[in-house]
């Protein structure tokens, strides 16, 4: 096992030998097959669909659930798997976050035993790609109460109407978990909607400056009829949606550290090669200052992620714990990628040198899965007992 130089305190040494082997297997695949192609795909704004099966074959998905996991493992280990993905590319990490955390996570958390057996293994192998449709054009931060998409029970079917925005993977996903308000009881419920269902359309969002590899879609649902068997059995109020988001927010915190690590590793390499004033720029004090501050942010954020994942394993993680990790690590990430960009000088804004990609991608992580403000307000509610959302 090779410890990452960015894991300064050696947190990863706490993993088991089996977990470390699994990590090295994924790292080898990502470094040989994915790292060489990401800048080109980023520039073209396209997703390399050929990696879907490769990521699955190298164990990037299905680690949490009985139906799919290769061995019993910890949330801390799964965090380190996200580090491997995100230090190569934030879009690839996000693709897995959607496929594994949000789409498979919804089915695993809210599906019946039959639904789990039917969908999880095929999603784990990459045969079926999933998406997660919560956000709407008119409802982002307020999606707990503001959803306008409706679901109406009609005998043994449900009829869905409405629209969704920003839905990751949905330009090529086979199914999307759609969250909609039941017109009868006003509660948010979850539905598995196959992409070929009449009335369902997904249109790619163009001209993004962040996460250009993973694609997002606007979705419209016009009288989409699905059988009752595709309603997630245990998704019956927004509290159930929140159970999925609590876990994925902590995973985004790991993804944020991974993005910082990707930028930091590229910056350390660049500064050891670039010569100014007759010596490599990593010999200059002010450059070392920025590298040391970046490593400080990474190390503090890793410590926080380790603990919040241990709390999940111990069954004591609450919404405010993962919200604090998400808001803190994404803020530190924004500082870190900017410092790493700075030490590359002009080349810091050219994608070919990698850091520019991490710098731009950080902006999307900062805002998705609850903005910094919303996650801060969840923590504020825990501190004061007062909800300041409205
Ligand atoms: P808004 O809610 O309009 O917020 C705008 C600003 O106002 C923010 O700064 C916000 O913090 C602030 N604000 C709003 N209300 C308050 C308040 N009460 N107090 C203080 N400040 C406030 N969603 C999905 O469902 N599935 C996906 O797969 C998905 N993927 C995404 C991928 C990307 C790249 C992006 C950018 C978004 C994705 N999202 C997805 C949506 C994402 O979760 C939302 O963008 C996010 O929740 C913010 O919502 P919004 O963009 O509508 O911003």
H/E element, 93: helix 90-96
**Ligand 1 atom with least separation from CA of 372:** 11
- CB-ligand 1 contact for 366 (6 Å cutoff): no
- CB-ligand 1 contact for 374 (6 Å cutoff): yes
- Average pLDDT on 139-162 reads 96
Tell whether the model's pLDDT for residue 355 goes beyond 80. yes
- Average pLDDT on 169-190 reads 98
Tens digit of pLDDT for each residue in 266-292? Answer: 999 999 999 999 999 999 999 999 999
**Ligand 1 atom with least separation from CA of 164:** 25
- CB-ligand 1 contact for 41 (6 Å cutoff): no
Pairing, β 150-154 against β 175-182:
parallel
Tell whether the model's pLDDT for residue 27 goes beyond 90. yes
- CB-ligand 1 contact for 364 (6 Å cutoff): yes
- Average pLDDT on 132-144 reads 96
Q: What is the mean pLDDT of the chain?
A: 97
- CB-ligand 1 contact for 211 (6 Å cutoff): yes
- CB-ligand 1 contact for 380 (6 Å cutoff): no
- CB-ligand 1 contact for 267 (6 Å cutoff): no
Q: Are 381 and 148 in contact (CB under 8 A)?
A: no
Q: What is the ipTM of this complex?
A: 0.98
DSSP 114-158: HHHHHHHHHHHTTSS-EEEE--BTTBSTTHHHH---EEEEETTEE
> Ligand 1, atom 18: nearest CA belongs to which residue?
389
- CB-ligand 1 contact for 95 (6 Å cutoff): no
- Per-residue pLDDT band for 390 (boundaries 50, 70, 90) equals confident
Considering the entire predicted model, what is its pTM? 0.97
What percent of the chain is modeled with pLDDT above 90? 98
The 10 Å CB-count burial string (b at 16+, else e) for 216-237 is: bbbbbbeebebeeebbbeebbe
- CB-ligand 1 contact for 197 (6 Å cutoff): no
CA of 232 to the centre of ligand 1 (A): 24
Helix, coil or strand: residue 66: coil
- CB-ligand 1 contact for 179 (6 Å cutoff): no
Tens digit of pLDDT for each residue in 185-207? Answer: 999 999 999 999 999 999 999 99
- CB-ligand 1 contact for 163 (6 Å cutoff): no
- The residue written with tokens 């109406």 in the block is 152
Q: Which of 105, 137, 140 to mutate to test the pocket of ligand 1 (most atoms within 8 A of CB)?
A: 140
> Ligand 1, atom 20: nearest CA belongs to which residue?
373
Please give the Cα distance from 297 to 180 (Å, whole number): 39
CA of 385 to the centre of ligand 1 (A): 24
- Average pLDDT on 353-365 reads 98
Please give the Cα distance from 158 to 179 (Å, whole number): 12
What percent of the chain is modeled with pLDDT above 70? 100
DSSP 339-356: HHHHHTGGGGGSGGGSHH
């Amino acid at each position: 096992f090779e410890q990452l130089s960015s894991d300064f305190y050696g947190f990863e040494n706490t993993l088991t030998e089996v977990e470390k082997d699994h990590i090295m297997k994924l790292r080898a695949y990502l470094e040989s097959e994915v790292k060489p192609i990401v800048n080109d795909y980023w520039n073209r704004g396209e997703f390399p669909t050929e990696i879907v099966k490769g990521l699955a074959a190298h164990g990037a998905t299905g680690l949490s659930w009985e139906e799919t996991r290769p061995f019993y493992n910890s949330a801390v280990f799964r965090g380190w798997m996200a580090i491997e993905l995100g230090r190569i590319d934030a879009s690839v990490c996000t693709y897995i976050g959607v496929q594994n955390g949000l789409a498979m996570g919804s089915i695993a958390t809210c599906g019946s035993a039959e639904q789990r057996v039917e969908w999880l293994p095929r999603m784990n192998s990459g045969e079926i790609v999933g998406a997660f449709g919560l956000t709407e054009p008119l409802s982002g931060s307020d999606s707990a109460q503001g959803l306008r998409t409706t679901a109406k029970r009609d005998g043994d079917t449900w009829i869905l109407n409405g629209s969704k925005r920003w839905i990751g993977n949905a330009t090529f996903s086979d199914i999307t978990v759609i969250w909609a308000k039941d017109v009868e009881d006003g509660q948010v419920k979850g539905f598995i909607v196959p992409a070929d269902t009449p009335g369902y359309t997904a249109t790619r969002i163009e001209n993004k400056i962040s996460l250009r590899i993973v694609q997002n879609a606007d979705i419209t649902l016009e009288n989409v009829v699905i059988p009752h068997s595709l309603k997630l059995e245990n998704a019956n109020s927004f509290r159930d949606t929140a159970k999925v988001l609590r876990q994925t927010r902590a995973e985004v915190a790991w993804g944020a550290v991974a993005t910082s690590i990707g930028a930091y590793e590229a910056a350390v390499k660049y500064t050891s090669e670039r010569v100014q004033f007759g010596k490599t720029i990593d010999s200059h004090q002010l450059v070392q200052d920025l590298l040391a501050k970046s490593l400080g942010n990474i190390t503090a954020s890793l410590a926080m992620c380790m603990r919040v994942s241990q709390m999940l394993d111990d069954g004591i993680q609450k919404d405010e714990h993962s919200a604090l990790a998400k808001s803190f690590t994404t803020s530190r990430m924004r500082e870190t990628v900017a410092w790493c960009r700075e030490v590359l000088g002009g080349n810091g804004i050219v994608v070919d040198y990698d850091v520019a990609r991490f710098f731009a991608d950080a902006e999307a992580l900062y805002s998705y899965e609850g903005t910094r403000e919303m996650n801060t307000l969840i923590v504020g509610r825990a501190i004061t007992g007062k909800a300041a959302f409205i």
